[in-house]
Structure 1
Amino acid sequence: MPKCDNCDKLIAKKSTILECNTCSKTVHATQACTRLTSKQLAALRNTENLEWTCEVCRRETPRQRSFVIQEEEEEDDEELLLTQGTDSGSNAMKKLLSDISFEVKKAVKKEIGSVNEALSSCCQKMDGIMDTLATISGKIKELENKNTYLTNQNKHLELKIDAMEQYIGNLEQKQLNNTFEVAGVPEIKDENTEIILNTLATKLNIVKKEITTVKRLKGKNGKEGVIQVSFKQEEQVDQWIKAARKVTILAEDIVSCPDPATARTKIMIRRALSSANKTLLWQAKQKLKVTYKYIWFQGGRILVRKNDNDKPVIIRNLSDIDKMAVEHIVSR
């Protein structure tokens, strides 16, 4: 390892050294050994064509090619002077630095221009996107308003349809107010419904009068149809129904029944119901029989009552039944 010619200490391999371009003397590249400022050392380190001459050589050969770095009292004001016989080296370095600075500024300006163009294009596209979003938002708002309007219209129509269905159902039921049905009478060949009604009247101890029609209706789903009896006055229907509640009449009491099981069938007399009320009454019995003790038809309406002392509740449609069923589940 070489020794520093200034401090006479060994120079480590990884240490930075400074070599005199005249006598090849080596010293530590520090301010103490070179007697240069930090800026002068930085200039030597970063500039390839600058050379260092030790103090001995500068004194002995003042005209030899060398460099002199002027040092002022403050390091911020130091200037590096290059000399190679004349000041041409310093001027060349200044021109080179000026050219480099110009090219750098030119390149930066060009890049900034490209960036500005890209930003301008992005801004224009963003403006277009914002306009499109505004248009879409307006259309969405318009569709929402239409949907709200149509929803309200639909609810209004549903209410009107429900009211119309109830009105039609009431008209149909009103036409059956003076009619009752006889269920449980087996249908026989060549039967005479007038004779059957006369036998039934005798069993009930009722005087048959003001009857307009007696006919057997066609059964559904393989079941026997009921016998429908119509009167001039609704009061006659009430009279027959009340009498039937006091007496138990079997099928064998009315007609000849070869089948013992059919013979013991109980005859029932009930008010005639429209198809809508039949469905409503059946649904009420199916869904509310666990909750409500009484479910019946009276005065053209379906009524339910939980206990003997409770007030009857009117069922107008299937929605009422579903609501009552849900309320029962929630209250459990």
Structure 2
Amino acid sequence: MEIADKCAACLNELIDSSAMHCTCCKEQYHLLCLNLSQNEYNAFTDDFITKWTCDTCRSKGRKGGDKTNTPVRGVSSPQLEFVTQRTKPRPGPSVLFLTASDIREIIRDELNFFKQQINPQLVEVANAVSTLQATISFFNSELEAMKASQAAQASKLQNMQEENTSLRSAVQSLSARLEQMDQNSRSANIEIQCVPEHKQENLVNMVQQLGKVIKCPVSDTHIQYCTRLAKMNSSSSRPRSILLKLSSPRLRDDFLAAASKFNKNNPDDKLKSSHLGIGGDKKAVFVGEHLTPALKSLHAAARTKAKELKYKFVWIRDGRIFMRKNEESNFIHVKNLDVLHNLS
């Protein structure tokens, strides 16, 4: 077939020999219609020029059907002589002839490649997320079980605390009752303190001599028991106290009242060791109720508190401790240390 003298793109005549000839359809094109400059054309090799095919022929041989309607350049292009050539360099030959179909194919291939690369990673991520969800679910169930167990333990602890409070109250009540019973068992007892000790001493004679001095005679039949008590503090230098058990609480009260009356009537010559028939230095002697160890400690604390707050009177009556600040104030029954702590 004879080669035409017109450009297949703009349909204008070829005025020079610089044109591209398609090896398939034998059509020829202006360089300008192909967006090629003369320098770019000169850079082509002879082999590339002899094997060159136009876009129309290349689109016919590509997948996707006939693309003959895709123009190389609009047919309404102006005459060659009125076209201003661009001076900006064009891309190399490898980018010049990509059609929309080529670009879509390249994008499709890249997307498929990306899917092939990313899908395994997405599967791994999905598996990891699934495992994490299972782990979180397990820990959540364990946490709920721990919360339920903690609530049960808190309820049990609350019950135990209430029971403990009740038991402590019961123990305190029982202790108070036992203390009172112990003190009641001493209702006929008298404790005589600070009496000097001698190896050959006769305690019964001392007690009878004391009874004569305070004008409350005591016979042998009235004395059921008389002995020295062991020291609560072994390092103390005070002599051991004398425990006197009389025949009745009434006689004991009379003996205590007589001793108190003697001291009041004789403020300058209160009971001393000489009144008991003991020679040597005169030592003060104290006659009082026989208290339990707990009441003795409470009595000592009451005396200390009285000195601190300037209370004038501290006394014991039937195993109970009383305090009074002065003659006009009301008395205070000291039941325990809490009473002393609340004094002001």
1:158 aligns to 2:168 (yes or no):
yes
Question: 1:299 aligned to 311, 314, 318, which one?
Answer: 318
**Contact 1:292 1:307 (8 Å CA) reproduced:** no
1:284 aligns to 2:302 (yes or no):
yes
Give runs of aligned pairs for residues 209-248 of structure 1, distance below 5 A. 209=219, 210-220=222-232, 221=234, 222=236, 223-247=238-262, 248=270
Question: 1:189 aligned to 199, 202, 205, which one?
Answer: 199
Q: Quick one: which amino acid aligns to residue 197 of structure 1? A: V
Unaligned runs of 5+ in 2: 1-34, 41-72, 84-94, 263-269
**Contact 2:289 2:319 (8 Å CA) reproduced:** no
Question: 1:275 aligned to 289, 293, 308, which one?
Answer: 293
Correspondence for 2:149? 139
Distance, in Å, in 1 between the alignment partners of 2:173 and 2:240 is 31
Question: 1:59 aligned to 70, 80, 85, which one?
Answer: 80
1:44-73 Cα distance to aligned partner (Å, 9 max, x none): xxxxxxxxx9xx99937x9xxxxxxxxxxx
Give runs of aligned pairs for residues 25-104 of structure 1, distance below 5 A. 59=80, 84=97, 89-104=99-114
Q: Quick one: which amino acid aligns to residue 252 of structure 1? A: S
Unaligned runs of 5+ in 1: 1-19, 26-52, 63-81
**Contact 1:83 1:90 (8 Å CA) reproduced:** no
Aligned-partner SS, 2:260:
helix
- In the TM superposition, residue 128 of structure 1 has moved relative to its aligned partner by 0.5
Distance, in Å, in 2 between the alignment partners of 1:250 and 1:183 is 11
Distance, in Å, in 2 between the alignment partners of 1:192 and 1:199 is 11
Between Structure 1 and Structure 2, how many residues are aligned? Answer: 252
Question: 2:190 aligned to 167, 180, 197, which one?
Answer: 180
Runs ≥4 in structure 1, deviation > 6 angstroms? none
Distance, in Å, in 2 between the alignment partners of 1:148 and 1:231 is 52
- In the TM superposition, residue 284 of structure 1 has moved relative to its aligned partner by 3.0
Aligned-partner SS, 2:308:
coil
Correspondence for 1:45? none
Correspondence for 1:46? none
| Larger RCO, structures 1/2 (Cα 8 Å, 6+ apart) | 2
1:174-195 Cα distance to aligned partner (Å, 9 max, x none): 1111111212221112111121
Correspondence for 2:276? 254
Correspondence for 1:316? 335
Aligned-partner SS, 1:176:
coil
Aligned-partner SS, 2:38:
coil
TM-score, length-scaled by structure 1: 0.65
Question: 1:208 aligned to 189, 193, 218, which one?
Answer: 218
Question: In percent, how many aligned pairs have the same letter?
Answer: 18
**Contact 1:250 1:265 (8 Å CA) reproduced:** yes
Distance, in Å, in 2 between the alignment partners of 1:284 and 1:167 is 21
1:110-157 Cα distance to aligned partner (Å, 9 max, x none): 444433322222111111010110111112112212222222222222
Aligned-partner SS, 1:132:
helix
Distance, in Å, in 1 between the alignment partners of 2:152 and 2:101 is 75
Bigger Rg, which one: 2
Give me the CA root mean square deviation: 3.3
Distance, in Å, in 1 between the alignment partners of 2:127 and 2:80 is 60
